[in-house]
Structure 1
C-alpha cells in the first residue's frame, strides 16, 4: 500500500514537473491568464475632471514626459484660470491595479515632446525627443539585434515560442538565483542579473531613479512587464520585436553638455561618436565595406555594454570599455554570431569619440519669436525650465496667428535695411537718418476682441532675444501716460456726476468745502448751470476744460520743486482744452490736470486736508510727521547700507573718512563715536595722521574730553561731523553686529529714525512740517491713483509720487497699454487676455488631460460713457492730432474707412546729475522710446514701440511719428487679418 502511494506521488510529481517545464517553455497557461486579465485594464476619455484616475509615481520616464507632474500642473493652471475639460477615466480593475503600485499597461511613447500650434492649427514649434531613432523593427540592422540579444536576452526572439513571456528568462533567472544563494553563503563566482529587456525597460522608465531598490521592486517590474506583454493577446512575437526597437530607442546612455540626457542608440551615436543613425545603419549592414562595418559594430557594442554604467564609460572608463568590447567580439565570433574576418577587422579597429571642445553639442535653437513668446508663457504657467518643457508630452494651442506674426516679424526686421526704411517712409525729420535705421528695435502687439475674450494675434519684437519687450519690460513710454491720466480724470468726473447730480443741499454744501479740490468745485458749478446734464454731456464738457501750457510755473512735487517743459516752444503761451492737449500731446496741461486729479484724491482720502496742510495745531499732523520720519529714515538707511555693503569694519571707516573734511572737530566726533573704547594715545595718533592742520597737545586733549561718547546726541554728532546721523549710527551698529542684515538694521533703528527728525516738531519749523506733510499727502494721493490705474491694467506695484508721472516717469509696458485700449473699446469692461486656448497633456495615455481657459468674467471697471468719451478723444488724435498720418489707412471689407484711434508717446530717458541750483552737470543716456497705442475698428487694438537702448540713443531724435509711420506702412500686411469678416471678402488697406 505504501509503495503504491509513493508511486502515485512520484507519477504526480513527474506530471507537475512536465507541466512546469512545458509552461516555462511555451507559457501556454500564463499567456491566456495574463491576456484575459490585461483585457480588463482599460481606460477611456471623458468630459471634465476625472474621479477615477491614478497618476504614476516619480520615475524617470514619468517625470520627463510630465505624467507624474500632472497634479502639480493642474494646481498651477487652476490658479491661472484654466480648468480640466477632458480627462481619462480608469476602469475599476485598472484603478485597483494602479493602487498596487504596478506600472500601467498601454502603448508607451518612445518619443514625445512639446508641440505648439496657432489659432488655425498651423505649427509654431515642435520638439521631438529623442531626436534620432529606429522607426520600425525592420529598420534595425540585424547585426545590432544579434549583439544586443546575445548580451542581454538571447532567447527573446525565438520563433518556436510564439507565446513566450518576455518578462522572464527562466535559465537566466535560475542562474541569477543560484549566484545570489552562493554569494549569501560566502561562495565565489560570477554573478549576473535576471533582468530581461522587458524588465530593464520597466526599471529605467518607471522605478524610482530608474533603479531596483529591493526584491519587491524587481517583482513589480516583472509583473508589470508580463501584463504589458500580453495586453494585445496571448501571442507575443510582435510585442517582443517592439521591445527590441523600444529598448534601442529609449535606453538611457549618460548625459552630455549642450545636449542634456541621452536616451536611445540614435542620440547616443550622435553624442558619443558624432555618428548619424542612417550612416551607422548603412555601415553596420555592410553597405560601405568591412572597415566601416567593423567600426559601426564597435560603436554598437560600446553602447550596448555601456548602458550599465554609461557616465563612467563615456567620461572616464573608455579604456575599460574598449577591453570589454574586445572580449565580446571574441565571444560573438566563438558563438558564430559574426564571421572571423569581421571579428579580426573589428578587433584591429577603434572608435573615435566626439571632442566636445572642438565639436560642441549644440541643440538646434529656435530664433523664431513666435515660439519664444509661447514657450516663455508656458515656462511661467507650468514652472518648468525650457529644457524640461521641451520634453513634456504636451500639445498646446496658442491664440497667435503664426502666418501674420511671421509676416509682421519679417516686415519689422526688414526695416533695419536703409532701402526698406526709406520705402516705408521712416527717413526724415523727427524720424531716422539712413545710418540709424539698423539700430532701432521694434515691438508690436496686436489683439483681437472676440466673444471669448481678448486674444493675442501678434506679439513680436526685433531684439533677437528670448526676452519679450512687449510684456517683460518696464519702459518710460512718454506721453502715452496722458491716456492713463485722462482715463482717471474722466473716471473722477463720472464719480462726481453720480454724487452730485440731483444731490441734496447738504451734499452740495459739503462738496463746496473742498476748497483745494478744483475738480469737485467745477462739477458743482457745471451741474448748477446744467442740472439736467447727462453723464455723457458732462464728460464732453470735461474734455473742453482749459489748462495753461505755460512752463514757467514751479511745481512742488516728488519731494521737491520741479519744472516741466513742452515739446514745442510755440505751445508755451497757449491755453488749450484737455481734448486739444491730448490730440497735440502738449505736456503742461496734463501736468496740471494730474495735479487736479491728485488734489481730488487727497480730499477723498483725508477729511479737511486744507487744515492738515496749514493748521499747525491740527492733532493729526503728529502722526503724519512720525510716519514721514520713519519712511525717510528707512530710505537713508537703505542708501547707506548699499554704500557699505560687503565691506569690513576698517573699509567702512576708511570710506566714511573720505567724505569727512579733515577738520579736527569733525574727525574727533566721528572717531570717538565709532571707537568709544579707544584710549587717548590712539586718538592722538589718529588726529596727527588725518587732520590737515597740526593740533597742539592741549587742543588734542580737549577734543578727546569734549567729544567723549555720550556727550552729544545723534543729531548733534551728525551736525558737527557734517555727516548724516543715521550713517554714523549704521557704522556703529555694524561694528557691534558685523553679521547684521538690512532687515536687522531697519528693525533696530526705529527709535533713531524718530530721533534724527525731532527738529521737525519744534515750533519754529512750521514751514518744514508743512512741506513734509505735503509730501506724505501727495504719496497717499498717488497710492489712490495707483489703485485706479491697476484696475485698468497698470502692471507695476507703485507709481512715482510726482507730477512727472503724467509724462511717463512711472514707466509702463506696451502690453499693459494694449490691455487698457482693450477696456476702452470693450465699453469699459475688463476681460482677460487669452494667449493659450488649450493645453493637451499625455494624449493617448491613461493620464490624458486637456486644459482650457475657464470662461472669462468681465468686470465693469469704467462706466460705458467714460469708455465712449475716451474712444472719441483717441479718434481725434488720429483725425487731427499727432496720429493724423493714419487717417484712412485701414478700410473695412466693404471699402469704408475704419475708425482708428490712439495715443502717441516719446520717451527720452536720461539720468541727470544736477547741482543744488538745478544746473545739469552730467547726463547718462538710458534709452529712447516712441510708442503708439491704438485701436482699429471695433475689434482690433495693440501697441507699436520703437526702442533704442543704451548710450547710442543720445544720437536719435525720433518722436512717436516713427511708430505711427511704421504702422501705416505695415497696413498691407495687417489688412487681410483686420478686414476679414465671416463669409466676406478680404479688403486691402490704404497706402
Structure 2
C-alpha cells in the first residue's frame, strides 16, 4: 500500500537541472508537483528559515547603532525576538551577522506540552512525538536535530508576535491599553490603508476563479463545523432557503450534519441581517474582507479592483472599528488577536511564497509549524535548492536541448534561454540553514544516512536534510477519527550540488493500518545510494543521465 515519490535536481550554471522526478503510482497525477500533503515536520524548516531571515533583518537595522541608541530602542513587550536582538547587540558579543545567526540557533525554547495556545481562533494544545522530550528546554539547533514539536510552535508564536510588532503604527500595541488615545484616530487610517492592502491581496487570490471556486475558497482550511459552514453559506447565498442550507451542510458534514430543526435554527441565526461582517468573519475563521470580496465578486463578476475598493469603504471601517471599543476589553482583545494573527500569517505567507511555497494561503494557526498548511515534495526540493545555491532561487530545467532534422538542410537546435537566478535569501542565512540540516544527518532524526554517500574521487558528498511525518485524520468532536492518509518525507541535499526529496505515503482507509515514520524515506534514500553514486561521484555531464 505504501507509495513512493523521488525528486533529484542538480545545481548548475544553467540552473537547477531535474535529474530524476518519478513515483510508483503508475497514475497521471505527479505526486511531486500535483499534490497537497501534510508533510509534518518539514514545515519546521520553513519556520526556521523565516526566523533566521528576521534575525538578519534585525541585524541590518540595529547592528550599526551606537550603544546609547540601542539602549533607547523601543521594543513591544510582546516582541521577544526584537528584545533578544537588542540585548544581544548591546552586549560584548561578536556583532557580525554570522555570529548573531549562530547565537540565534543557540536560543532555548521549552518543549513542555502543558501550555495552552490561543491560536486559529481557539485554544489548542500540542504534543511532542517523543514524550521523553517533554521536560527538555533544547536549543533551536537541538530541537531541529531531534525534530521536537513544542520549541517550533513557540518559535512560530514568536515570529507571529514580532511580525505584528513590526506592523505600521505598532498595531499590536493597541492591545495593551484600552484608553490609548490613538485607537479611534488610528483605526480610521488603518482601516482605509490596510483594508485596501488586504483587498488587493484577496483580489489576486480570487482572480480568474469560477463561481464554484469562489464559493469554495472561504471553506478551504476550515475545520468542518455546522456553525462555521452556515456562517459562510448564508453570507454568500443570502436568499437561500433552509432546505438549501441543509443540503450544503450534508454535503460537507455527511453523517455529522445537523437535524432539520437545527438547520432551521442555523438558517435564522446566520441570516444576513442578524450578524455584522466582523462577527461573521470571526465565527467563520475567515478574514471578513476576504469573505466580503468573495460575495462581491459573485454578485459583480465583471467588477474591477477599483470598483471593489470603492464599494468596500464602509466594510473596511466596520471590520476594524468594532475591534477597538473599550467595553469588555478581554473579550475584544481575544477577537483583535484572532484578526491580527490572520494578518500576520498573510505576511509570513508572503515570505514563504518567495522561498517556493506553492499554495495561495497558510492556515492562520501555530499548527502550521507542524505541517497543517500542507506542502509539496517538489516545493520542498526547491527550498533546499535555494539553500544549496547560497540563497539564490534558480529556475528548474527538465530539457537541456532539442535537435530536429540533424544532418539535413532543415537542422534546428533549441535550448532554454539563460535566466539569472534571484537572490531571495541572505547568503549567511542559507549557510546557517545548511549547517543545521547537516546536523540532522550527523546526530539527529536522519542519522542512519550518515556515511552512506562515500565518494571515491574525494568529492564532498556529505548529506543534510529534514524529516517530516504527517497523519491526516478527520477530527470529530475533538477526537481523532478516520485516517485519510499518512505521509513521511525527507528533503535533502547531497554534497554541494544535488538536492531533492523522498516521500512515502498511503492514501485511504488503509492509512490507519500504517505506523511508519520519516525513518522510512531516509532508509529508502540510503538504500538508493549505490544507484545514485554512479551519477554523483565525479560529477554529471551537461545532459540528464539515462535511466539506469
Report the TM-score when normalising by structure 2. Answer: 0.76
Larger Rg: 1
The structural deviation recorded for 1:533 is 2.8
1:575-614 matches, cutoff 5 A: 575-614=137-176
Deviations 1:106-152 (A, max 9, x none): xxxxxxxxxxxxxxxxxxxxxxxxxxxxxxxxxxxxxxxxxxxxxxx
Task: State how far apart, in whole Å, the 1-side matches of 2:246 and 2:46 are.
Answer: 48
Cα 1:877/1:756, change in 2 over 3 Å: closer
Cα 1:714/1:886, change in 2 over 3 Å: closer
Which residue of structure 1 lines up, in the alignment, with residue 136 of structure 2? Answer: 574
Cα 1:741/1:591, change in 2 over 3 Å: closer
The answer to whether 1:949 aligns with 2:507 is: yes
- Gap regions ≥5 residues in structure 2: 203-217, 220-227, 250-257, 285-295, 542-548
Which residue of structure 2 lines up, in the alignment, with residue 774 of structure 1? Answer: 337
The structural deviation recorded for 1:638 is 8.3
Cα 1:605/1:851, change in 2 over 3 Å: farther
Does 845-854 or 587-596 show the bigger shift?
845-854
Which residue of structure 2 lines up, in the alignment, with residue 147 of structure 1? Answer: none
Cα 1:637/1:753, change in 2 over 3 Å: farther
Deviations 1:635-659 (A, max 9, x none): 7688653999899858448879955
The answer to whether 1:855 aligns with 2:418 is: yes
The answer to whether 1:641 aligns with 2:233 is: yes
1:80-119 matches, cutoff 5 A: none
The structural deviation recorded for 1:742 is 3.6
SS in structure 2 at match of 1:867: helix
Which residue of structure 2 lines up, in the alignment, with residue 743 of structure 1? Answer: 299
The answer to whether 1:458 aligns with 2:20 is: yes
1:482-501 matches, cutoff 5 A: 482-501=44-63
The answer to whether 1:963 aligns with 2:521 is: yes
1:623-638 matches, cutoff 5 A: none
Which residue of structure 1 lines up, in the alignment, with residue 225 of structure 2? Answer: none
1:163-202 matches, cutoff 5 A: none
Task: State how far apart, in whole Å, the 1-side matches of 2:94 and 2:88 are.
Answer: 10
Which residue of structure 2 lines up, in the alignment, with residue 535 of structure 1? Answer: 97
Cα pair 1:476 1:929 within 8 Å, conserved: yes
SS in structure 2 at match of 1:605: coil
Task: State how far apart, in whole Å, the 2-side matches of 1:840 and 1:982 are.
Answer: 21
The structural deviation recorded for 1:749 is 10
Deviations 1:557-598 (A, max 9, x none): 112221111001111111000000000000000011111111
The answer to whether 1:903 aligns with 2:476 is: no
Task: State how far apart, in whole Å, the 2-side matches of 1:783 and 1:796 are.
Answer: 12
Deviations 1:62-99 (A, max 9, x none): xxxxxxxxxxxxxxxxxxxxxxxxxxxxxxxxxxxxxx
The answer to whether 1:562 aligns with 2:130 is: no
The structural deviation recorded for 1:445 is 0.4
Task: State how far apart, in whole Å, the 2-side matches of 1:826 and 1:749 are.
Answer: 44
Deviations 1:414-438 (A, max 9, x none): xxxxxxxxxxxxxxxxxxxxxxxxx
Which residue of structure 1 lines up, in the alignment, with residue 376 of structure 2? Answer: 813
Cα pair 1:624 1:776 within 8 Å, conserved: no
Which residue of structure 1 lines up, in the alignment, with residue 177 of structure 2? Answer: 615
Cα 1:662/1:567, change in 2 over 3 Å: closer
Task: State how far apart, in whole Å, the 1-side matches of 2:85 and 2:7 are.
Answer: 38
Deviations 1:759-810 (A, max 9, x none): 7676433333222221222122212211221222111122111111111111
Which residue of structure 1 lines up, in the alignment, with residue 274 of structure 2? Answer: 714
The answer to whether 1:829 aligns with 2:421 is: no
The answer to whether 1:882 aligns with 2:438 is: no
The structural deviation recorded for 1:886 is 0.6
Cα 1:766/1:842, change in 2 over 3 Å: farther
Which residue of structure 2 lines up, in the alignment, with residue 793 of structure 1? Answer: 356
Task: State how far apart, in whole Å, the 2-side matches of 1:883 and 1:857 are.
Answer: 33
The structural deviation recorded for 1:845 is 9.2
SS in structure 2 at match of 1:872: helix
Cα pair 1:511 1:520 within 8 Å, conserved: no
The structural deviation recorded for 1:885 is 0.3
Cα 1:850/1:524, change in 2 over 3 Å: same
Task: State how far apart, in whole Å, the 2-side matches of 1:662 and 1:819 are.
Answer: 46
User: Of 482, 488, 492, which aligns to 1:930?
Assistant: 488
Deviations 1:264-322 (A, max 9, x none): xxxxxxxxxxxxxxxxxxxxxxxxxxxxxxxxxxxxxxxxxxxxxxxxxxxxxxxxxxx
SS in structure 1 at match of 2:504: strand
Task: State how far apart, in whole Å, the 1-side matches of 2:319 and 2:83 are.
Answer: 41
Cα 1:606/1:510, change in 2 over 3 Å: farther
Cα pair 1:945 1:963 within 8 Å, conserved: yes
Which residue of structure 1 lines up, in the alignment, with residue 530 of structure 2? Answer: 972
Task: State how far apart, in whole Å, the 1-side matches of 2:407 and 2:344 are.
Answer: 57
Task: State how far apart, in whole Å, the 1-side matches of 2:318 and 2:24 are.
Answer: 54
Report the TM-score when normalising by structure 1. Answer: 0.44
Cα 1:896/1:804, change in 2 over 3 Å: same
Cα pair 2:503 2:521 within 8 Å, conserved: yes
Task: State how far apart, in whole Å, the 2-side matches of 1:475 and 1:661 are.
Answer: 34
The structural deviation recorded for 1:551 is 0.7
1:48-127 matches, cutoff 5 A: none
The structural deviation recorded for 1:513 is 2.7
Cα 1:526/1:798, change in 2 over 3 Å: same
SS in structure 2 at match of 1:943: strand
1:30-41 matches, cutoff 5 A: none
Which residue of structure 2 lines up, in the alignment, with residue 409 of structure 1? Answer: none
The structural deviation recorded for 1:554 is 1.0
Which protein, 1 or 2, shows the higher relative CO under an 8 Å CA cutoff with sep ≥ 6?
Answer: 2
The structural deviation recorded for 1:962 is 0.4
Which residue of structure 2 lines up, in the alignment, with residue 940 of structure 1? Answer: 498
